[in-house]
């Protein structure tokens, strides 16, 4: 057996190891990925110490670039939520939409909130408003749950500073501002189209109120009452937006500076502001200002502590993804895959389909969108240099695949299903369907972009 074939077999086995350890033995994804790294490196003749060096270097490289920005981003989201700013943004945006566009209102509100805040927190904040919208439009809960899922999962999937889209530029080697711009453009189009398609599907009597609603659950009534509670001492809408807007403006400053002056000649101020560490630090500081005024110093410390507890798992998984990528890169398997599988890397569609497929398989198999997105991106990063398209399209395809089918092995599925008072079949018809339509839209946009504007 030649070396190339052996490397491909080792890659398949290492992926199987990750899935087996996570799905069957319930081992933490970060540990599973490191074990797979050890197998891949040693079996591919990198040597024991060579493999360990690649694991350490890959983890360190990823953390030096991503560790602080992820930490700052998580703190930003937690303080924005705890200070009441996220709720203010949600209520204001929903009010601004016409009554006939209520589903788009909840979807785009979920999209905006999920830029700094995790999906489950966004869902908890918005579901009382969603219940009120359900009453307003006189339709089943499925409409609101699906629209909210589409908005929140789309932003979480492709708009920095959530971990995967934040990591994508480092993995593929392009500017973070490009990821932000494409994430926002693709995201707005995706939410608009996906809500329209989702609504049309449910208009065709797709929903069964008897089987898809958990009639023994009181959660909807409780959340409806919670939504009526008068909330005092909350920030204004514009002040609440500061922690979100500040990092976006900073990142775009860096991107514009690069476009105008070039990478090496741009002013130091645009380099400083455009760095993701600086941008997210300023965003976190803006959220601290909200916290000081609206929840007090003592509660700020508790909120930041809770945020960093949640960040720990994400940081480990992200770092392990860096290790996996370093080991794969050291084997030069990207070039070998192209040769052995006969991939036509001049065809953007072939490469994008492969990127989507890898993310899709990981998402369906083990549930975590973070693991699915990171793993598929680290694998596809070895192929990216051989393709004549901008790597942002490959990143989008990977992330779309990783967001494609959230079902019963996904924690977000249970958050959406339980808080909406649905059965498992109801969850599949809302959360799963909504996230799938969103993923397909992102993937199609990546293909169109790669064909129309392959490089820029």
**pLDDT of residue 12 exceeding 90:** no
Q: What is residue 431's DSSP assignment?
A: I
Report, as an integer, the average pLDDT of 383-408: 91
Confidence at residue 400, expressed as pLDDT on a 0 to 100 scale? 97
3-state secondary structure of 140: coil
Q: How confident is the model at residue 443 (pLDDT cuts 50, 70, 90)?
A: very high
CB 409 within 8 Å of CB 366? yes
Q: Which helix (H) or strand (E) holds 195?
A: helix 176-203
| Residue range 101-126, pLDDT digits in tens | 889 999 999 999 998 888 888 888 88
Lowest mean pLDDT: which of 44-48, 141-145, 198-202, 339-343?
Answer: 339-343
* Residue 4 pLDDT: 78
Say what angle helices 29-43 and 369-380 make with each other, to 10 degrees: 20
- Residue 231 has what pLDDT? 58
pTM, two decimals, is 0.84
Most confident of 58-67, 68-77, 185-194, 327-336: 185-194
Check residue 120 and give its pLDDT: 83
Per the model's pLDDT, the better-predicted residue between 60 and 225 turns out to be: 60
pLDDT averaged over every residue in the chain? 87
| Boundaries of domain holding 438 | 3-452
pLDDT at 49: 94
* Chain segment 270-282, per-residue pLDDT in tens: 899 989 999 999 9
For 97-109, give one letter per residue: b (16+ CB within 10 A) or e.
beeeebbbbbbbb
Per cent of the chain over pLDDT 90 is 39
Is the pLDDT assigned to residue 229 strictly greater than 90? no
Is the bond preceding 161 in cis, omega lying within 30 degrees of 0? yes
For residues 188-193, average pLDDT = 98
Inter-residue contact 181 to 160 (CB < 8 Å)? no
Q: Are 294 and 235 in contact (CB under 8 A)?
A: yes
pLDDT in tens, 316-326: 888 988 898 88
- Cβ atoms of residues 440 and 205 within 8 Å: no
Residue 219 has pLDDT above 80, yes or no: no
Question: 3-class DSSP state for residue 422?
Answer: strand
Over residues 169-186, the pLDDT tens digits come to 999 999 999 999 999 999
DSSP letters spanning 255-266 = HHHHHHH-TTTS
87 pLDDT above the threshold of 90: no
Total domain count for the chain? 1
């Amino acid at each position: 057996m030649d070396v190339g074939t052996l490397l491909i077999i080792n890659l398949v086995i290492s992926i199987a190891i990750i899935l087996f350890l996570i799905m069957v033995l319930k081992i933490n994804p970060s540990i599973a990925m490191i074990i797979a790294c050890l197998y891949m490196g040693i079996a591919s003749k990198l040597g024991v110490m060579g493999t360990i060096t690649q694991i350490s270097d890959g983890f360190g490289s990823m953390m030096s670039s991503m560790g602080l920005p992820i930490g700052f981003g998580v703190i930003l989201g937690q303080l924005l939520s705890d200070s009441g700013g996220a709720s203010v943004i949600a209520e204001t945006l929903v009010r601004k939409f016409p009554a006939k566009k209520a589903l788009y209102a909840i979807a785009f509100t979920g999209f905006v909130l999920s830029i700094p805040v995790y999906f489950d927190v966004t869902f908890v904040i918005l579901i009382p408003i969603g219940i009120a919208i359900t009453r307003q439009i006189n339709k089943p809960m499925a409409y609101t749950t699906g629209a909210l899922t589409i908005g929140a999962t789309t932003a979480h999937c492709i708009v920095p500073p959530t971990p995967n889209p934040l990591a994508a530029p480092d993995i593929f080697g392009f500017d973070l501002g490009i990821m932000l711009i494409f994430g926002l453009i693709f995201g707005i189009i995706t939410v608009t189209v996906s809500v329209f398609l989702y609504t049309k599907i449910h208009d065709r009597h797709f929903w069964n109120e008897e089987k898809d609603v958990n009639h023994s659950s009181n959660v909807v009534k409780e959340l409806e009452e919670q939504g009526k509670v008068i909330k005092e001492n909350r920030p204004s809408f514009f002040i609440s937006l500061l922690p979100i807007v500040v990092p976006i403006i900073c990142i775009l400053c860096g991107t514009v500076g690069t476009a105008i002056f070039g990478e090496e000649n741009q002013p130091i101020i645009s380099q400083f502001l455009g760095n993701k560490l600086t941008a997210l630090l300023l965003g976190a500081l803006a959220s601290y200002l909200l916290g000081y005024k609206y929840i007090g110093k003592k509660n700020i410390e508790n909120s930041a502590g809770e945020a960093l507890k949640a960040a720990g798992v994400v940081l480990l998984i992200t770092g392990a993804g860096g290790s996996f990528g370093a080991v794969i890169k050291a084997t030069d398997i990207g070039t070998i895959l192209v040769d052995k599988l006969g991939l036509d890397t001049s065809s953007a569609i072939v490469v994008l389909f492969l990127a989507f497929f890898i993310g899709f398989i990981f998402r369906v198999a083990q549930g975590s969108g973070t693991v699915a997105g990171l793993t598929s991106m680290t694998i596809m990063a070895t192929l990216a240099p051989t393709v004549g398209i901008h790597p942002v399209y490959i990143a989008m395809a990977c992330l779309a695949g990783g967001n494609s089918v959230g079902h019963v092995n996904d924690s977000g599925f249970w958050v959406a299903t339980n808080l909406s008072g649905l059965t498992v079949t109801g969850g599949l018809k809302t959360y799963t369907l909504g996230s799938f339509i969103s993923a397909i839209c992102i993937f199609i946009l990546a293909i169109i972009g790669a064909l129309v504007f392959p490089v820029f």
